[in-house]
Structure formats: C-alpha cells, structure tokens
Amino acid sequence: MRPTTRTAARIARPGVRVLDGISRAGARPQPLTLLGWHRLGRTSGDGLTTTFDDFRRHLDVLDEWGATVLPLDTAVELMAAGELPPRAVALTFDDGYASVSEQAWPELRRRGLPATMFVVSGYLDGRRTFSWDRNDSDVERIRLVERPGLIEAAADGLDIGSHTVSHRWLRHLNPREIAVELAASRAGLEDVLQRPVRSFAYPMGGWTPAIREQVAAAGYDTAITVDRGRNGQSHDPLSLRRCFAFDRPDDLRLQLDGGFTWVRPIDTFRQRRGPRL
Ligand SMILES: [Zn+2]
C-alpha cells in the first residue's frame, strides 16, 4: 500500500497519545527532520525561490516517503519526550514572503499539512524590501506579507514564529541589540496576532551558545538554525538543525534520509565566516 503523509489532524494534542496505527513499544526514539523554504515564484535557481510545481513535488515526495508532518511545537515536544513517530517532519518558511501565505499555505492546508512561517517583524508594513532583493525586478517574488495578510493566514492555521525585527546577523550584534531583536519582534508579532509567539528562527542561521541563552531568556521554546541534519531526542530545542529543501525531488529524498548530515563541518565553517550578504 502506498504510504500517506500523516497529518496533525490525526494526532491527539496535547495528550500525546501519538498516532493511530503506529506502535512505539520498544522502539528507539525517532529523529525529527525540519524542512525549510523561503518563497515561491515563477523561476527558481536564486537559492531562495521554489517554483509552485517543485513545491507540490516536494509535498508529493514527503507523501511517498511516508512522512508524518507535525506542527512544530508538537514535534519538538514529542522529540524531547522520545515519542516521535517514524519519519517525523515539520515544515518551516523563513522571512515572511507573501507567496508563502498566499500560495504555499493554501496548498498545505488543502493537503492538511501544518507549517510555521518565521516573520521579520520590522518588515510588515508593505514598504520595505530585504537588501538582497533590492535589485530584483520581480516585484511579486520579493513581496512580503503585510499585517492583514499575516493575520488572515494565522487565523487560517498557519503558525507564526519570529525571525527578529531587522534580519541582521546576530553574531555581529552586542547583547543589548540582540535582546531588542528577540523581545521586540516577539512583542510586535504578539500584538499583531493577539496570540503567543514561542518559536524563533536565527537569521541566516547565525547563532552561538551565548545568543542561544538570550533566546531562552526572551521566552522562546523553540529556535531553529540552518545547521543541516536531523534532530535526535536529546537535541537542544533552541538550536535545532534544519535542511532547506533542494529543488530536485531526488535531492529532497536524500535530505529526508539524512544524506546531507556529512556537510555539518561546512556549516560550522560558515558560522565562523558570517553571511555573504
Ligand atoms: Zn531569513
């Protein structure tokens, strides 16, 4: 029988009676795979954009692979408890592009799949563009979600996390500046959404143990890096590993099977060097 993607709807929360049909008795704790995307657009190849067709193929690959797609907070709770189902995955989107709330989210919702979008709170007024997008003439591709669209998507079930106020490389900021980025973004988003915001994604994956301590002090439960690989039961929930989905479905399959774990030393080097932006 063809495996199907299990979804949040079939999972009891928060009582964690995980999953019909999967026995955990005597099983080893399962790892958590976090997948990321940035935006959808007509053409890919810029390192940030996934075409809508490729995105749908990614979701098909998850389905064929037999992924259990969980809401991020549930996934991290189950990970820590050693109660994740096999092939547990959570889906994330960084930066708050409008194509995510307007195109990716409706497709995910149609398939019953939960997801989290990490939003830069200082970029919600429809007037700002990220520095790396300033020379891009495709206005639709670089368009960011604005407050009304964010409220609507959140009300429709899209989970929202913080991605700071200004998307700066935190490792270059002093502790006071970092504290503002963490607290003001959370407060700003909570004010817009009128609900708690407990998850965070480090801009460009830049983090250190000291920054991680500030993330904890700011009240976040979950924080995500771009260090590649999967997360075992004992993995720190405030420095979770994540893979951004490659366009080719075969590559995504390799990512899901843990085939890119060997690149971790490159991630360490990249952390020291800082972003290319
Ligand atoms: Zn980002």
pLDDT in tens, 164-208: 999 999 999 999 999 999 999 999 999 999 999 999 999 999 999
pLDDT at 229 over 70: yes
For the residues 212-241, what does the mean pLDDT come to? 96
CA–centroid distance, residue 226 to ligand 1 (Å): 10
Separation of alpha carbons 206 and 50, rounded Å: 23
170 in a structural domain: yes
145 with 98: CB under 8 angstroms? yes
The confidence score (pLDDT) of residue 242 equals 93
List of residues 6+ apart from 34 with CB closer than 8 A:
72, 75, 89, 90, 92, 224, 231, 240, 241, 242, 243
CA–centroid distance, residue 18 to ligand 1 (Å): 32
| Residue 61 lies in domain | 8-273
The confidence score (pLDDT) of residue 171 equals 94
DSSP string, 160-229: EEE--SS---GGGS-HHHHHHHHHHHHHHHHHHHSS---EEE-GGG---HHHHHHHHHTT-SEEE----S
57 in a structural domain: yes
212 in a structural domain: yes
CA nearest neighbour of 96 among 136, 70, 130: 130
Separation of alpha carbons 227 and 205, rounded Å: 7
List of residues 6+ apart from 28 with CB closer than 8 A:
none
Taking only the tens place, the pLDDT of each residue in 4-58 is 555 544 443 333 333 444 445 457 899 999 999 999 999 888 889 999 999 999 9
CA–centroid distance, residue 8 to ligand 1 (Å): 26
The confidence score (pLDDT) of residue 12 equals 38
CA–centroid distance, residue 65 to ligand 1 (Å): 27
Structure-token pair, residue 243: 């893979």
3 in a structural domain: no
199 in a structural domain: yes
* pTM higher than the cut 0.75: yes
The alpha carbons of the chain give a radius of gyration, in whole angstroms, of: 18
CA–centroid distance, residue 88 to ligand 1 (Å): 24
CB burial string 13-29: b at 16+ within 10 A, e below: eeeeebbeeeeeeeeeb
Number of structural domains, the chain? 1
List of residues 6+ apart from 254 with CB closer than 8 A:
260
Other beta carbons less than 10 A from residue 45's beta carbon: 9
2 in a structural domain: no
pLDDT at 263 over 70: no
For the residues 153-165, what does the mean pLDDT come to? 98
CA–centroid distance, residue 67 to ligand 1 (Å): 25
CATH at 111: 3.20.20.370
For the residues 78-86, what does the mean pLDDT come to? 96
CA–centroid distance, residue 133 to ligand 1 (Å): 12
CA–centroid distance, residue 163 to ligand 1 (Å): 7
Taking only the tens place, the pLDDT of each residue in 87-98 is 999 999 999 999
1 in a structural domain: no
CA–centroid distance, residue 167 to ligand 1 (Å): 6
pLDDT at 2 over 60: no
236 in a structural domain: yes
The confidence score (pLDDT) of residue 200 equals 98
CA–centroid distance, residue 164 to ligand 1 (Å): 9
Separation of alpha carbons 77 and 231, rounded Å: 12
